[in-house]
Structure formats: structure tokens, C-alpha cells
């Protein structure tokens, strides 16, 4: 499938759009439907499309970080989002909002931090599975 000029050319346009839309879904999701889960799947889908067009090694190069690191950082962010209210005397995972607004995002909260954690965990888990299976498939197809 990597020999498809149409797929490689289309991927150059679609992958950045998918990543941008995944970021939009992430930011939209803490107030409306969407969020970290859907955004993480969209981001992983964009990178999987790139993998189909260019191969596993190139996809790993574009990703620049091991998917396991994404999973770990995502879990730490989700845990931090839950612990911030505990240090303020509130129950675990209670939403806490910052005083000042961030331009383009609005008020930052632990809800958004949790969504970012979910985004990274979902994207990392999906990419870990897909890239591992695709790498194994490429090894089986290799005649050497």
C-alpha cells in the first residue's frame, strides 16, 4: 500500500487536519461532548493513516516519542488533575478552575488537565497497539 501516490499525497493534507481537529475536540470536550477520548482517537487515526502511507519506521520518526511515554505522561496528568483538589481540601477529581483566562482556551481547570491525560493515554495506547501489530506484519512480509 505504500506504493500508492494518491494515498501518500492525500495523507500530507489529511493528517494535519486530523491532528488539528483532534486538538479542537480536546479543548471542546471539557464543556461539550467530545474531549480527550475522541481527540486521542483522532490523533492516533491521523498517525495510523501516515503509517499506512509511509510505513511503521517513518510513522515512529514522525511521532518522535515512544507511545509508552505518552501513556505514562497521560496517566500522571490524570492523577495530578485528581490530586489538585485533594490538596485544597476537596474530594478527589473535583473540578478546580484557575482565576485567570488563557487566550483562546478560556479558564483552565483540572477538568481540562484530566482530558489532556485521557487524550495522551488513548492516543498512546492506540498507537502502541497499531504500530506493534504493523511492525510485526512487516517483519513477517520481509523475505530476509
Judged against a pLDDT cut of 90, whether residue 142 lies above it is answered with: no
d(CA 67, CA 86): 29
pTM of the model: 0.90
- Cβ–Cβ < 8 Å for 62, 116: no
Give Cα 119 distance to the centre of its chain.
5
Cβ-proximal residues to 48 (8 Å cutoff; 6+ apart), any chain? 59, 126, 127, 130
Q: What is the pLDDT of residues 82-121, one digit of tens each?
A: 999 999 999 999 989 988 888 877 788 898 899 999 999 9
Binned at pLDDT 50, 70 and 90, residue 1 comes out as low
Amino acid at each position: 500500500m505504500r506504493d500508492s501516490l494518491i494515498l501518500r499525497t492525500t495523507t500530507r493534507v489529511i493528517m494535519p487536519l486530523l491532528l488539528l481537529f483532534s486538538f479542537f475536540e480536546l479543548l471542546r470536550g471539557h464543556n461539550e461532548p467530545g474531549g480527550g477520548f475522541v481527540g486521542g482517537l483522532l490523533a492516533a487515526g491521523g498517525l495510523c493513516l501516515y503509517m499506512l502511507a509511509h510505513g511503521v519506521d517513518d510513522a515512529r520518526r514522525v511521532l518522535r516519542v515512544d507511545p509508552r511515554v505518552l501513556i505514562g505522561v497521560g496517566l500522571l496528568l490524570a492523577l495530578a488533575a485528581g490530586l489538585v483538589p485533594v490538596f485544597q481540601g476537596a474530594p478527589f477529581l473535583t473540578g478546580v478552575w484557575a482565576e485567570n483566562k488563557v487566550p483562546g482556551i478560556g479558564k483552565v481547570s483540572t477538568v481540562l488537565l484530566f482530558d489532556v491525560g485521557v487524550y495522551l493515554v488513548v492516543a498512546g495506547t492506540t498507537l502502541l497497539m497499531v504500530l506493534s501489530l504493523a511492525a510485526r506484519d512487516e517483519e513477517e512480509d520481509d523475505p530476509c
